[in-house]
Structure 1
Amino acid sequence: MQLNLDNNFNQTNQQGNAASYGAHECMECHEILSDAINGINQFELYRPHVKDQQLGQILDKQINFMIQEYNSLVNHLHNRGIKPGSTYQAQNNFSPKLGLRNPSPESPNYNINQLNDRDIASGMLGCAKSSAVFATLAALECTDPNLRNMMKNCVISKIDMAYEIFQYMNQMGFYQVPTMQENTTQTMVNSYQPANML
């Protein structure tokens, strides 16, 4: 089996149709591309159910970026000379509201017609978070520097996409941030002290 893989690899390289990729990074790219397709499809399913205009704008912006990111990776893998793209641009002028403000109870929906903006935003947040984990794992397996940089950009983009949707959710009261008592927070923070340099 190994001999067959090596022969196919050498033939592909001699024909100039593919870059030199290790098995792990090929499999990680497969995972990233599958995850991207699933994310795009998931967001498209959400689109007709969005009621809030601001959420709709965020969703459309994120879908378009996800498609662009997917195409960039596919083109790179096909050796079409596409350089690593830019990262997602999210607004960061935000001060999160901390503390619980009478959160409403949550439960699963039993009907697609029960899907609301909170459900959609939560699904978008979960998608960005899991995609960030997949991209981090992929970056750690990449031997090709350009592919590695694409994965690093993907991680940063997913982090910023998650924060953008968190901002929306926090502003709307969908994602409230519990806090600890001030003395507990200070005790925990102060339990760590700077280390001396060698």
Structure 2
Amino acid sequence: MKTKQVSILQEVMELQNHQQMSQGMSSQPNMGSQANTRNHSAHEMMDTHEVIGSLIGMLEQYQLYDQHIQDTQLKNILQRQSAFTTQLYNTVIGVFQTGRDPQVPTQEYKMQESNEVIYGLKPGQPKQPKQTVNELTDECYSSFMLGQTKTVATGMTTAALEMNQPVLRRVIADSIPNMLEMAYELFLYQNKHGYYQLPKLSDQDTQMMEQGYAPAGQQGMH
């Protein structure tokens, strides 16, 4: 009788072990799926945190500038860049949280400024820091905006070089040209209004530098 009870107990224990193993195996695919979508290294997490923070900072600062800018053209630039960056922000956090392709793919920012650049320096009053908010002008606000787009572009470039999650890396890398375009648009605006002047070398020095290089031979080809 005792032997029969032991046999029944062993069967019960084996059944419990089998059920536990089955439950563990069934839960593994879900854990693996989550690990695949959120497979971020610690370094990548911190770099992405910096990128998202810089996008938030840019959007918040743009809101502050919008109420003070006087020039219609600069205000239009700000509003177009703000709308585009808002969508970019949503795309980045969506990919960061899921690891999946974004619902709205990375867009292409197209500026409305022409590419004509004015060279040379014109005399003007020496610059100095403004003492009050009321002294800030469109020159100041466009300079702030230019600095922020450059900061975001630099941060994204640094972060993209450290990304290991393939979807997030692609989104960040594809967004860098858009930030460069925004910065260039602001540079052109400033240049045309005399806020960002460009000195030039003499024609002789320019030509000497241009002619200071020669094509390289094709390595490994004989």
| Inter-CA distance 146–120: structure 2 relative to 1 (3 Å threshold) | same
CA–CA separation in structure 2 for the residues paired with 1:173 and 1:94:
15
Q: Which has the larger radius of gyration?
A: 2
* 8 Å CA contact retained: 1:51, 1:117: yes
The alignment's TM-score, normalised by the length of structure 1, stands at: 0.88
Match of 1:133 in 2: 154
After superposition, give the CA deviation of every residue in 1:130-151 in whole Å (9 maximum; x if it has no partner): 1111000011011122211111
The answer to whether 1:163 aligns with 2:184 is yes
Question: Which residue, out of 64, 67, 77, partners 2:83?
Answer: 64
* 8 Å CA contact retained: 1:25, 1:142: yes
How do 1:107-186 residues align onto structure 2 when only pairs under 5 Å count? 107-186=128-207
What secondary structure sits across from 1:49 in the alignment? coil
The answer to whether 1:96 aligns with 2:114 is no
Q: Structure 1 regions of 5+ residues with no counterpart?
A: 1-9
- Per the TM alignment, residue 103 of structure 1 is displaced from its structure 2 partner at its CA by 4.2
CA–CA separation in structure 1 for the residues paired with 2:31 and 2:43:
18
* 8 Å CA contact retained: 1:139, 1:148: yes
CA–CA separation in structure 1 for the residues paired with 2:217 and 2:113:
34
Could you tell me which amino acid in structure 1 is paired with residue 102 of structure 2?
I
What secondary structure sits across from 2:67 in the alignment? helix
CA–CA separation in structure 2 for the residues paired with 1:63 and 1:93:
20
Query: What's the RMSD between the two structures over aligned residues?
Result: 2.1
Identity %: 34
* 8 Å CA contact retained: 2:110, 2:181: yes
Match of 1:75 in 2: 94
Question: Which residue, out of 186, 208, 212, partners 1:191?
Answer: 212
| Inter-CA distance 13–22: structure 2 relative to 1 (3 Å threshold) | farther
Q: Structure 2 regions of 5+ residues with no counterpart?
A: 1-27
